[in-house]
Amino acid sequence: MDREQVELDAPGLDRPGTLIRYGHYGRPVLVFPSEQGRAWDYENNGMVDAVADLIDAGRVKLYCVDSYDHVSWSDRGIPLEERARRHGLYESWILEQVVPAIGQDTPGASDIITTGCSLGAFHALNFALKRADLFPIAICQSGNYDASSWHAWGDRGDATYFSNPADYLPNLTGDHLEWLRNRVFLLLTVGQGDWETHPTGSLPSARATAALLAAKGIPHELDLWGHDVAHDWPWWRKQLAHHLPRFC
């Protein structure tokens, strides 16, 4: 399997960001790590091996990136609005550094899939909803899609609103909503076992987000796995291997 690792400048953040590409050909898949994760976590937790057949067959290329949650959403010492503002720097890194790097590595590539587990699922959904022109499909595994539930405190403003699907989804209207209805598809997968309800809130959040998407007519699928399915890598490997072949 082809594997290439590069470091990309990350203006405004505390270090350059790592991008690792797995594969030689195929549809690009942008992978967000779980909370505070690094680009190599996907490989270290068996997720790359779980879809190695698709990679080796030239059906997909995975592009795994660092998170910067440690200076944004995961920093409980700062108010939610400041966390969201710092997340905006991460969004800029993805759009201004990572996406062009994917384009250079895969000339002519378009319609990038986003995916991620846990907090990575939040990123996958959020980027697809905000930039469906780049990311028309999101495979979201065990995510909590409401940042206000993450030990939030302090006044909330525009930075939080425009970075939090639970805030902006209910208010989508007009041409932009109609465009999303014709452009995006969001897959929400979640188990009903250990840690999916407590402490992560993933199961109730997935149900609530699916209800919001349904109310807005945005194409989506809520895939509930069994009561034995935990918020953990062994199940995420099975879910990814089950669903990714549908989109490549």
DSSP run (H or E) holding 116? strand 113-117
For 155-201, write each residue's pLDDT tens digit. Answer: 989 999 999 999 999 999 999 999 999 999 999 999 999 999 999 99
pLDDT at 108 over 80: no
Mean pLDDT of the chain: 96
φ/ψ of residue 199, rounded to 5: -95, 0
Average pLDDT over residues 114-139: 97
Average the pLDDT over 212-227 and give the result.
98
How far is Cα 120 from Cα 140, in angstroms, rounded to an integer? 8
In Å, how far are 59, 66, 67, 70, 151 from 77, measured between CA atoms? 43, 21, 18, 11, 10
Task: Find out whether 233 and 189 touch, Cβ atoms under 8 Å.
Answer: no
Predicted confidence at residue 107, as pLDDT, reads 80
- Compute the distance between CA of residue 186 and CA of residue 114 in angstroms, rounded to an integer: 10
User: Between 108 and 141, where is the model more confident?
Assistant: 141
Residue-wise DSSP of 69-81: GGGTTT-TTS-HH
What values do phi and psi take at 213, rounded to 5? Answer: -65, -40
Phi, psi for 82 (deg, rounded to 5): -70, -35
Q: In what order do the strands lie in the sheet with 60-65?
A: 3-8, 17-22, 60-65, 27-32, 113-117, 137-141, 185-190, 220-224
Residue 110's CB is within 10 A of a number of other CB atoms, namely: 11
Length of the chain: 248
Q: Residue 117 has which token pair? A: 């587990």
**CA gap 55, 110 in Å, rounded:** 18
Please write the tens of the pLDDT for every residue from 39-79. 999 999 999 999 999 999 999 999 999 999 898 999 999 99
193: tokens are 């076992």
